[in-house]
Structure 1
Amino acid sequence: MQTQFNIHEAKSHLSRLIEQVEAGGEAVIARAGKPVVRLVLVGEAPQRRVLGRLEGCFKLPDEQAPPIPETPVDFIDAVEGR
């Protein structure tokens, strides 16, 4: 259910608007009859990133590894064993 309120009504009845949105509805706030803002329920907060999550997943080449080829063609040739 979507209901439109003007700004003054929205300020006066903010608690009711929030309850309506929490119940699965939607509220639109209008200025001079023109819709400006839509209130919707916020979803789950994203999970926080964990530093070091990929630790041990990658191995850096040792110092004796051959240098990375300079051009894309040379790189492809090296990967393909040419």
Structure 2
Amino acid sequence: MPMTNVAEAKAQLSSLIEKALAGEEVIISKHGKPMVRLVPYERDASPRDMSVRIWEGEVRLADDFDELPAELMTAFSGDAH
């Protein structure tokens, strides 16, 4: 297993990224010991459960959630000067 030390990795980061993207194993070592493996990022493409009530019991909205206090309305309307 070929390894690249940290100093070499700093100088050759672009080429190491290209190697990892091409499927090569890239190991970065420190003092001769393997520390990290450089791998391509894989976006999570799993489907999301967007069904109704998925957050039921997990989130609580205050009873006055939709009520805007008068002082905030004044501040946002620009009449606070």
* TM-score, with structure 1 as normaliser: 0.53
Residue 42 to residue 53, structure 1, CA distance change in 2 (3 Å): farther
Residue 52 to residue 22, structure 1, CA distance change in 2 (3 Å): same
Determine the structure 2 residue equivalent to 1:46.
45
Could you tell me how far 1:47 is from its partner in structure 2? 2.8
* TM-score, with structure 2 as normaliser: 0.54
Distance (whole Å) between structure 2 residues aligned to residue 53 and residue 12 of structure 1: 51
Determine the structure 2 residue equivalent to 1:19.
18
Determine the structure 2 residue equivalent to 1:30.
29
Deviation by residue 1:5-31 (Cα, 9 ceiling, x = unmatched): 100111111100000011110110000
Q: For structure 1, list consecutive stretches of 5 or more residues without a partner in the other structure.
A: 55-82
- Residue aligned with 2:20, SS: helix
Distance (whole Å) between structure 1 residues aligned to residue 8 and residue 44 of structure 2: 29
What number of residue pairs does the alignment pair up?
54
Could you tell me how far 1:33 is from its partner in structure 2? 0.7
Higher CA-based Rg = 1
Q: Percent identity?
A: 40
Determine the structure 2 residue equivalent to 1:66.
none
4+ long deviations beyond 3 Å: none
Q: For structure 2, list consecutive stretches of 5 or more residues without a partner in the other structure.
A: 54-81
Determine the structure 1 residue equivalent to 2:78.
none
Deviation by residue 1:18-71 (Cα, 9 ceiling, x = unmatched): 0001111011000011111111223342335242179xxxxxxxxxxxxxxxxx
- Residue aligned with 2:50, SS: coil
